[in-house]
Structure 1
């Protein structure tokens, strides 16, 4: 088992090889299984495996699965067997579909395939009778019965066309419209039955669904198209025995629904009601408990918490986690009254897995200084509790610096952030400073990140400031709406004020600074580049550049156009806030990085920015300071470990060159 001895944050590849916990499954007999990702030998991809953990926190973890293809979505059956999804070969040869199948690992014996389908199977939930809810993909216009034949014909003809009849047509990094998601019931013996025959390509795209423990009912999100390229998502209930479907919660133009979770007795469903964003108001989430049979809902007041996830402990209690005040919290809810008790409020917690006896919830806890690690949170008592750590692979040793919370006042609003400083920063050797602006804009610098890890910069002598400005999560609806609709001047004023405050320290060097950001943070860095020359270098990843172009080409076009309107109708707003209008004012060296498969912020944003930078440079071509790192097989995030090494090394070297006077990056990258 890996230990927590890693402490050399100059070793980027070493950091990216640390095991990462991503999911938990609690068994009926007190067992606990974790899904853990780790880079393969060449750093070409992340591979998941399943590990048995000791929920009491005493014994070492034990690895359960070893395949090259990896295993995901662990769920326990009532008999104690472990179910999971994997595309590894079936040794019996009975199931030869290319996609992931559902496997069963008994308490004693070898894993075997339970069920497979031509479009793969993703395990969603398991009932007490052993039946399972899963999703699969079928080619549009077909069914599970004829899908294999139709896929073979399409493959042999090398046909790759997609016939679109409306929006959406893309999602993050993949195309939509050629396949339709279907819900299927999988019997204990592996027989498949479609629960949503004829579902169109939109209805169950990115669906969230749940199965009652008695196997009688399924609840699922159900999406329909509306006029103007919009979609609306409600909650449907499906009677498993008859297949009848009814809308349990209807969507409207003003709100929709997501994340349905059935109580153990199947009588109630916890859901998130989300309002529709407008030019004056962002979207707000509300946690509600609805009776499946109908009636008044119980509204749960979670305060400033931005909801992240929830799980039923029993029929009377629900645990909820989310972002809170640049940290996070776990709440215990009395579902009859909506009353809330805070269990912990020191950090974000995810992968909530209540124990079968209802005495605790198991979760993955992380923060800016520590990657996700499993903990046991007791539920007894009246107030806050103390979680117990659970031994697991991964973890880190000593950090290369200090972390502290800093705050400032901006027009009567307290704005804070985390400041990470090298151990040896002093008045005689002040540290250069990086300002990082997070994406979203609804996000928070409250958690560990493998993609944007400040400790890699701290290990090289940089201080890193991580603000949570306007529109950050964890500060209630007012915090989410401050600065809406994505006003860069509001966010910049708050970030710059906090930066100026911390730069008054004699341990930080105000003359040597860099600015970095991704997604919305990349939009911010692009906008700031044309409105300030105070930084020595700017790094922009997956950033919006020309809003008139991005708003209509993103996969979330309906949202963007609804909120921001058409450029012809709001020319002054677009001229003030679209970064490309200030291209001629950019004087700071910029590193542009972008993934070709990014559909949320299409690579056309980077291509247009790059052209504006190169064509606008008045010096000789060889003297141009700007650079473009194109990631041809990445999407909105840099996920491949080998590419992440290159991205981090390049980003750090670019900042070192233009802020610290280090040697220029060679034309052929050495990483």
Structure 2
């Protein structure tokens, strides 16, 4: 029996989340997520992956561990909300900083903050970390938090935007960066580097120069009308003096951030502001740390991860490319070269100090993430022993393409179940990716096509207009033309898939989440091809969505001011009178990117229009469905709905939602 058959078996598969290489190159360390003993939640633990041996577990706690980094001495710093065994009745509720000695032994707490400790960076004996801090005197921080809690105050007074982000409320504390020296037992000389940060370090990305003297960090600059720009600033660790390193009107400088080993340059991502007639664009930007002078490199590659070569002569980046995410070598002088030639997607890049190898997490549509070693000279790829063995998938992965009505090529991945043939064609499921500036190129724990294949469906995962990895023209084609242009691309590649004799062209369904949910809603009102449509975390009324989402400024740049022509032309809710296809609406109440009002309005519109529909509602989930039991309920409900309307079976309410 496959783990993809019973969703309860699927949610129990351990998952490799990250990868770090030790300074001496002898081992990797990874955070691994697995099901907790209660079966109701996930926990994380750190695992060591020796380059000459088998992986072994380093940490065990009910609270789990994350944000692991190596010190220069090879010790491991990580964050965890586990209680401190040296403090009587310790019941930590927020993450503190811990150190696990290289030589072995017990982890010890080396720093704690009332607002917790987030991301950590270290160089030499310098440690820089992020922490959430209430306004006012730092010395009174703990008492202020205690008083607020005892008074039952949850109110947050905002004076700017945003007020929420993805799945969490912002405030009342605000992020600051702290510097310290790593002493024998604890962090010493802890100093607030950014006491005046205000909102500038929201969702911060930062790195520490190799000499430990300077922090390079993103810095949010407020603009008029509730908008903001993200700059890159340099903060002197000794003095806290701050200077703006990279800033440009109409652009953000964001992570991933990497500083060259010689301390001379910084690599980051430069993203241009979008507008009604300006599409999204992200590019690798490399600048001199002393002068701030820089330029774009590899302009057609959106950097997903960045790592410097040890001699500081080149940058390795992972970037979407035609349904894959290869590693590219980008020299400071010379031509960009693709390092990996397989069909995989790479993240978590780590270059060895001798320059011979790049270590990374390697995955693909049909391959769960696991550590791999890439030979820089030859491109040879070697899979390493993994702390979480990859699950085996059953079925076939193939690639198909189509020519759209405007002559553009649209490609995608097609997952076929075992046994699909001309004699026994498989029912068909179109799965539309989110984003919309994204691509189907990686293993998906959340959107798992192999579960659908295990239940007999052929699954098409296409990259229509707005997808990354096909050059800027592919994004430009769909900019401001979401529904019509994307549907034309989807229609073209679906036609190719349904022409196959191993796919049943009569039993056809469609589904998608986020932007994919928007397109599912759009197809419902503009096509009668599908027997059932599943729409998750979807946009329904664009005017409503663009004013209530957590980053309203981003979407209003593309759509225009509320009431503009683009809302009228592209909003799916205006085609409610044309919908006849049964729909399953799914949404989490804690989704701040696509607020729950979209689903509530869609559900009401479907009811008053007497369209056959169901609404799967998650009061405690966000844009994604993350709790194991809820994941089971999600897939079982989707499968039951598709079985009824695509396969023609009698409706059976899943036990997980009974």
Compute the TM-score of the two structures, normalised by the length of structure 2: 0.95
CA distance, structure 1, for counterparts of residue 401 and residue 248 of structure 2: 40
Greater RCO, 1 or 2 (C-alpha within 8 Å, sep 6+) = 1
The alignment status of 1:218 with 2:245, answered yes or no, reads no
CA distance, structure 2, for counterparts of residue 142 and residue 96 of structure 1: 25
Can you give the 5+ residue segments of structure 2 that lack an aligned partner in the other structure?
none
- Within-5 A mapping of 1:47-446: 47-56=43-52, 59-93=53-87, 97-106=92-101, 107-128=103-124, 130-139=125-134, 141-189=135-183, 190-191=187-188, 192-200=190-198, 202-294=199-291, 296-301=293-298, 303=300, 305-314=301-310, 315-335=312-332, 337=333, 339-346=335-342, 347-379=344-376, 381=377, 385-410=379-404, 411-446=406-441
- Residue 585 of structure 1 deviates from its aligned partner by 1.3
Contact kept, 8 Å, 1:472 with 1:480, in 2: the verdict is yes
Contact kept, 8 Å, 1:306 with 1:324, in 2: the verdict is no
CA distance, structure 2, for counterparts of residue 257 and residue 28 of structure 1: 26
CA distance, structure 1, for counterparts of residue 657 and residue 331 of structure 2: 57
Deviations 1:91-142 (A, max 9, x none): 10177653111111112221101111111112421112x2211100011x22
CA distance, structure 2, for counterparts of residue 450 and residue 637 of structure 1: 11
**Matching residue of 1:641:** 628
CA distance, structure 2, for counterparts of residue 147 and residue 27 of structure 1: 35
Contact kept, 8 Å, 1:516 with 1:539, in 2: the verdict is yes
Contact kept, 8 Å, 1:541 with 1:594, in 2: the verdict is yes
The alignment status of 1:473 with 2:468, answered yes or no, reads yes
CA distance, structure 2, for counterparts of residue 309 and residue 169 of structure 1: 28
Contact kept, 8 Å, 1:97 with 1:116, in 2: the verdict is no
Runs of 4+ in 1 over 6 A off after TM superposition: none
The alignment status of 1:45 with 2:41, answered yes or no, reads yes
Which of 590, 598, 622 is matched with 1:605 structurally? 598
Q: What CA RMSD, in Å, does the superposition of the two structures yield over aligned residues?
A: 1.7
Contact kept, 8 Å, 2:66 with 2:80, in 1: the verdict is yes
Equivalent pairs counted in the alignment come to 648
- Within-5 A mapping of 1:521-670: 521-570=516-565, 573-617=566-610, 625-666=612-653, 669=656
CA distance, structure 2, for counterparts of residue 450 and residue 441 of structure 1: 19
- Residue 464 of structure 1 deviates from its aligned partner by 0.5
Q: What SS class does the counterpart of residue 151 from structure 1 fall into?
A: helix
CA distance, structure 1, for counterparts of residue 292 and residue 527 of structure 2: 56
**Matching residue of 1:620:** none
- Residue 171 of structure 1 deviates from its aligned partner by 0.4
Compute the TM-score of the two structures, normalised by the length of structure 1: 0.94
Q: What SS class does the counterpart of residue 145 from structure 1 fall into?
A: helix
CA distance, structure 1, for counterparts of residue 114 and residue 65 of structure 2: 18
Contact kept, 8 Å, 1:133 with 1:185, in 2: the verdict is yes
Deviations 1:319-352 (A, max 9, x none): 11121111111012323x2642221043210011
CA spacing shift, 1:295–1:119, aligned 2, 3 Å: closer
CA spacing shift, 1:123–1:487, aligned 2, 3 Å: closer
CA distance, structure 2, for counterparts of residue 268 and residue 513 of structure 1: 52
Can you give the 5+ residue segments of structure 1 that lack an aligned partner in the other structure?
1-5, 618-623
CA spacing shift, 1:338–1:173, aligned 2, 3 Å: farther
Contact kept, 8 Å, 1:530 with 1:585, in 2: the verdict is yes
CA distance, structure 2, for counterparts of residue 651 and residue 470 of structure 1: 26
